[in-house]
Amino acid sequence: MSTYLHREAHFKSSHTLRDVVIGMADGLTVPFALAAGISGAVSGSGVVVAAGVAEIVAGSIAMGLGGYLAARGEMEHYESELQREEQEILEKPKAEADEVAEIFQHYGLSEPEYRGVIEGLKAHPRAWRDFMMRFELNLEVPDPKRAGQSAFTIGASYILGGLVPLAPYVAIASAARALPWSIGVTLVALAVFGYVKGRFTGAGAVKSAVQTTAIGGLAAAAAFALARAIS
Amino acid sequence: MSTYLHREAHFKSSHTLRDVVIGMADGLTVPFALAAGISGAVSGSGVVVAAGVAEIVAGSIAMGLGGYLAARGEMEHYESELQREEQEILEKPKAEADEVAEIFQHYGLSEPEYRGVIEGLKAHPRAWRDFMMRFELNLEVPDPKRAGQSAFTIGASYILGGLVPLAPYVAIASAARALPWSIGVTLVALAVFGYVKGRFTGAGAVKSAVQTTAIGGLAAAAAFALARAIS
């Protein structure tokens, strides 16, 4: 099945792509909105840069390390469910066989139709366990390298995205004069990012560009208005 | 199967729980680290509060709206794959039957064992389509209400979490004097949040409390050090 293999390959490479999207979407949006917000409350660019860097550091650690622990947690969850299924198959094969039957009944299949599969699984307890993990619990075998890679990709993408809106504040001493440049470069970056994201994920590229730019712009406008109101 | 039903119920209620965890984990961590970071660069609490509010607004919009669009995108992806499977079953039933065979072969089953299931699915094209969605493509039927609920829950949890580290800066005019209070209340909140999260997700409660507190503390320390270094 060439389409089958093609799809499989597509799903594998999209893990990294998904992590880049997760990190960069927030990295472009939150530091941008924060910098715009603070620009409404202070005059010098120094505070904006300090706050922006603090945010990028905090955000990349929270997202990267958070993602790492989430992936680790999923692995532990998989291991514990694997042991549970193994034990249930050993101790309560009748109940487990009923669960397999339930799965097929859900798709309108009758006992004579799925009987063969149940008999076949009973003959291979390890395959049965893996079958239950995937088809009863909907858990996929986790890749042990994923957690670290995912943390790094998300964190790095967040940092890369966050440096875009901050660059003008580094170059221009007045926050008020740096703000329009920051808005300009970031909206362009958001549109390009949204467009590329849309192309890769199969959603409409233009629609994705508009949505991504709108979220960033809305977040920045709200942050600017609120920070100015309370300061 | 009472355990089966129990598990199902567990997975449903955990959608909202997962959203609360996603929003609050970042809400407690990033505004906390940002506020600590800025405290290393300015003297008055006013700028810290303005920046903190800007961050909470930006973060909750980016996470909430981002989550909404991601859920919407998943629904569109599901719909387009559904139509594709429907068409493939109509136009290339032989190839689709081979794909079902591949799934069962993966679990060491032989043709006589899974033949009945393939015959049964051929008799019910809609069930066959749903079977492929779930067992070939690993896509679950999305809940149309999920996107909006998820966006609200994540955004609200982020705001709630973010107000904890900011409260001391609202009450105390000096940023340097507000900082230790912010560190104190937030580390306690992170520990309680991690503990409760660990209890609900089945990971160790104490281990989860330690991890959550460590991420928040590490992010805040790094943000503080970098913001002070560059300002």
Residue in this structure with the two tokens 């690993």, named with its chain if needed: B138
| pTM of the shown model | 0.80
Pair of tokens at residue B152: 């609200």
C-beta atoms of B131 and A58 within 8 A = no
Lowest mean pLDDT among A92-101, A160-169, B192-201: B192-201
pLDDT in tens, B152-209: 999 999 999 999 999 999 999 999 999 999 999 999 999 999 998 888 776 788 998 9
Pair of tokens at residue B156: 């609200």
Decide if B62 contacts A219 (C-beta within 8 A): yes
How far apart, in whole angstroms, are the C-alpha atoms of residue B109 and residue A120? Answer: 6
* Chain A residues close to B147, C-beta within 8 Å: none
Between vectors from CA A71 to CA A69 and to CA A76, what angle results, nearest 5°? 90
State the Rg of chain A over Cα.
25
Residue in this structure with the two tokens 């949040």, named with its chain if needed: B193
Decide if B220 contacts A58 (C-beta within 8 A): yes
pLDDT in tens, A73-87: 788 888 888 999 999
Pair of tokens at residue A71: 């992936």
Bridge partners of residue B44, in order along the sequence: B174
pLDDT at site B13: 54
Please report which confidence band the pLDDT of residue A13 belongs to, taking 50, 70 and 90 as the band edges. low
C-beta atoms of A116 and B119 within 8 A = no
Average pLDDT over residues B97-125: 91
Residue B224, CA atoms < 13 Å, CB-side half-sphere: 18
Lowest mean pLDDT among A160-164, B42-46, B150-154, B227-231: B227-231
CA distance B147 to chain A (A): 15
Decide if B40 contacts B173 (C-beta within 8 A): no
pLDDT at site A42: 83
ipTM: 0.76
Mutation site for B-interface testing, chosen from A15, A24, A113, A157 by largest number of B Cβ within 10 Å: A113
Q: How many CB atoms lie within 10 A of CB A42?
A: 20
pLDDT at residue A59 tops 80: yes
